[in-house]
Amino acid sequence: MSFLDRIAECRGWEPDDYRPFVIDDMVLGRVPHDLTRRLTDFPKVFDVSGRAVSLVPELSGFAERTNAVAEVLHRLRDAGEIPRWRDEDYPVLRHWGDAPLLTIERAAAPLFGVRAYGVHLNGFVRGPEGLSLWVARRAQNKATAPGKLDHLAAGGQPHGLGVKQNLIKECAEEAGMAPDLAARAVPVGIVSYRCARAEGLRDDVLFCFDLDVPAEFVPKNTDGEVESFALWPLPRVLETIRDGTEFKFNVSLVILDFAVRHGILGPDDPDYEEIVAGLRLAPDAA
Amino acid sequence: MSFLDRIAECRGWEPDDYRPFVIDDMVLGRVPHDLTRRLTDFPKVFDVSGRAVSLVPELSGFAERTNAVAEVLHRLRDAGEIPRWRDEDYPVLRHWGDAPLLTIERAAAPLFGVRAYGVHLNGFVRGPEGLSLWVARRAQNKATAPGKLDHLAAGGQPHGLGVKQNLIKECAEEAGMAPDLAARAVPVGIVSYRCARAEGLRDDVLFCFDLDVPAEFVPKNTDGEVESFALWPLPRVLETIRDGTEFKFNVSLVILDFAVRHGILGPDDPDYEEIVAGLRLAPDAA
């Protein structure tokens, strides 16, 4: 087993299985063929052709698009076709920082293959023997990746909340961390990937943060999403990532990025170039 | 002016201007059409077709390939067709860590558009007002980028030397730094780009290092390649990068990567996603 296996697991998808999801002549996602067929039932919202699934041009503003798509999604949900409804709005946009073209229910984002954003926190502790990382065990009743190992705090990026604010909120909910400590987290870059998963096509951009956690801090979950926490020496974390899939798939990538940035992996490792290149999609990978 | 301008300057090249340079059915570079025509003069070494420039299959080992290509390159040099000959061997390989297929004179690497590797050192100082970065002014008589601003130490990665060893050597030559200090530099990742420059097609992978430089250290150039050094507050460095091209083109990218990793730039900046994605090529960008 190798770190490259973890990267490969975040890369598998088959373009022929999808049709581009187009708004205003821009590709914003990818819709699988079964959902494409279903969307022909809603011709006032979706213009389905052999080449693309487009929002009809009459839906030209943020509110119009959001409301029209939401109406379709609610009907699909009521028909049992959208599992794990979250009641959380995700922005749909071409580049982070753009005004969103619409928002979409979180559970539908992978169904339409639209890009989703998230925050992940590497909560680390410096010790005499090197770095350790706080590791969470996800609750067994989580909808996705139950029982897998996770970051101290992480979460999706909803519409209308700043990225740092979202991180502070997740730190409070998932790890019981005070806002003034969470605010010390440093943004350190991005990990991104696109892959087919059970929930659909994940096209994710993760904003990564590092936090030098004081030795006296003890995390305490407040939202029931975490079963337990443990502080692991970084070598144990990396061996676990290398040897299997006990860590949630995308958490492995963010921790590999941490190991690269902190010089735990270096260019005299023959896989270094491929590992580093595998942590982000190309800028123009639309 | 914007940081994205610096990234755009490391990205411009036109695929139609080149033919793939192929060894053992693998694309290892890109040869412009005028050099392609010239290489038809050496049919025992290069097999030139309308689609590719290939090494002839009879050249099947490292030494055979290296010697045969070197003989051609020496004849081109003697005819004045390879300026700035360096007498430095660069490895030609598909991925860092692979055994090289051959070595090639450094000055010829951009002529064949083969991937070249290098090391760059962010030498920073922590102060009460934040981070400062050691900045070098390149000598006016340098073959490339005379007078431009540069890192404390940086250089190409020759064949047969470890990456860290190379960095230590460059730190001694360019900044008069003792090996035990240079050895404390931490590998922090990769910046990569492909662009057409005066010297040819640059397809570079830069191994980046950070060094927390002690306040008492004063750099002293020993090889005549640096005119002067100065310690600049990071905001001044970033403003200079944003507003123009006083920094050498690839140094700007490595410093932007530094700013991202140290949280000077963050996800609440609307250009963040594009800046971060622009610092590396895609893994499969052959």
Residue in chain B nearest A264 by alpha carbon: B187
Average pLDDT, stretch B183-187? 98
> In terms of Cα–Cα distance, which of B120, B115, B155 is closest to B134?
B120
Amino acid A286: pLDDT:
40
- Cβ neighbors of A282 (< 8 A, separation 6 or more) are B277, B281, B282, B285
Choose among B162, B190, B263: nearest Cβ to A273. B190
Residue B5 has pLDDT above 70, yes or no: yes
Q: Does B269 sit within 8 Å of A97, measured CB to CB?
A: yes
Q: Which two tokens stand for residue B251?
A: 């140094």
Q: Which two tokens stand for residue A137?
A: 């065990």
Burial of B285 (0-12, 13-18, 19+ CB in 10 A): exposed
Q: Which residues of A144-165 are buried (b: 16+ CB within 10 A; e: fewer)?
A: ebeebbbbbbbbbbbbeeebbe
The rounded mean pLDDT for chain A is 95
Give me the half-sphere count of Cα atoms (radius 13 Å) on the Cβ side of residue A181. 20
Q: Which two tokens stand for residue A87?
A: 């009641």
B4 touches chain A (CB under 8 A): no
Confidence of residue A259 (pLDDT cuts 50, 70, 90): very high
Confidence of residue B40 (pLDDT cuts 50, 70, 90): very high
A274 touches chain B (CB under 8 A): yes
Given a contact cutoff of 8 angstroms between Cβ atoms, the answer to whether A248 and A6 are in contact is no
Residue in chain B nearest A282 by alpha carbon: B282
Residue B58 DSSP SS3: coil
The C-alpha atoms of residue A173 and residue A138 are separated, in whole angstroms, by 13
Q: Does B192 sit within 8 Å of A266, measured CB to CB?
A: no
B50 touches chain A (CB under 8 A): no
Choose among A163, A189, A271: nearest Cβ to B97. A271
Give me the half-sphere count of Cα atoms (radius 13 Å) on the Cβ side of residue B97. 11
% pLDDT > 70, chain A = 99
Quick: pLDDT tens for A156-184: 999 999 999 999 999 999 999 999 999 99
The topology (CATH level 3) of A15-113 is Transcription Regulator spoIIAA (3.30.750)
A271 touches chain B (CB under 8 A): yes
Q: What DSSP string describes A210-235? A: EEE--TT-----SSS-EEEEEEEEHH
- Domain spanning A3-11+116-277: which superfamily? Nucleoside Triphosphate Pyrophosphohydrolase (3.90.79.10)
The C-alpha atoms of residue B155 and residue B259 are separated, in whole angstroms, by 21
Average pLDDT, stretch A59-83? 97
Quick: pLDDT tens for B41-82: 999 999 999 999 999 999 999 999 999 999 999 999 999 999
Q: Does A278 sit within 8 Å of B282, measured CB to CB?
A: no
Quick: pLDDT tens for A86-109: 999 999 999 999 999 999 999 999
Domain ranges of chain B: 3-11+116-277, 15-114
Amino acid B286: pLDDT:
40
Average pLDDT, stretch B189-218? 97
Using an 8 Å CB-CB cutoff, list chain B residues near A190. 267, 272-273, 276-277
Amino acid B283: pLDDT:
62
Q: Which neighbouring-strand residues pair with B186?
A: B210
CB atoms inside a 10 Å sphere around CB A187: 25
Confidence of residue B282 (pLDDT cuts 50, 70, 90): confident
Residue in chain A nearest B98 by alpha carbon: A270
Confidence of residue A143 (pLDDT cuts 50, 70, 90): confident
For B143-185, the three-class secondary structure string (H helix, E strand, C coil) is CCCCCCEECCEEEECCCCCCHHHHHHHHHHHHHCCCHHHHCCC
Q: Which two tokens stand for residue B84?
A: 């700035």
Residue B229 has pLDDT above 70, yes or no: yes
Q: How far is A118 from chain B (nearest CA, A)?
A: 11
Q: Does A265 sit within 8 Å of B187, measured CB to CB?
A: yes
Residue A79 DSSP SS3: coil
The C-alpha atoms of residue A84 and residue B189 are separated, in whole angstroms, by 37
Amino acid A284: pLDDT:
54
Amino acid A285: pLDDT:
46
Choose among B187, B263, B285: nearest Cβ to A188. B263
Using an 8 Å CB-CB cutoff, list chain A residues near B269. 97
Strand order from edge to edge, sheet including B53-55: B26-32, B18-23, B53-55, B46-48
Burial of A107 (0-12, 13-18, 19+ CB in 10 A): buried
Quick: pLDDT tens for B94-146: 999 999 999 999 999 999 999 999 999 999 999 999 999 999 999 999 888 99
Q: Is B70 or A222 the better-scoring residue by pLDDT?
A: B70
Q: How far is CA B216 from the centre of its chain?
A: 30
Amino acid A144: pLDDT:
85
Average pLDDT, stretch B240-265? 97
Amino acid A186: pLDDT:
98
Amino acid B144: pLDDT:
85
Q: Does B164 sit within 8 Å of A189, measured CB to CB?
A: no
Q: What is the gyration radius of the CA atoms in chain B, in angstroms?
A: 20
Q: How far is A37 from chain B (nearest CA, A)?
A: 33
Residue B195 has pLDDT above 90, yes or no: yes
**Domain B15-114 CATH class label:** alpha beta
B260 touches chain A (CB under 8 A): yes
B224 touches chain A (CB under 8 A): no
Interface test with B, best of A163, A193, A273 (most B CBs within 10 A): A273
Confidence of residue A283 (pLDDT cuts 50, 70, 90): low
Confidence of residue A268 (pLDDT cuts 50, 70, 90): confident
CB atoms inside a 10 Å sphere around CB B21: 24
A212 touches chain B (CB under 8 A): no
Amino acid A1: pLDDT:
79
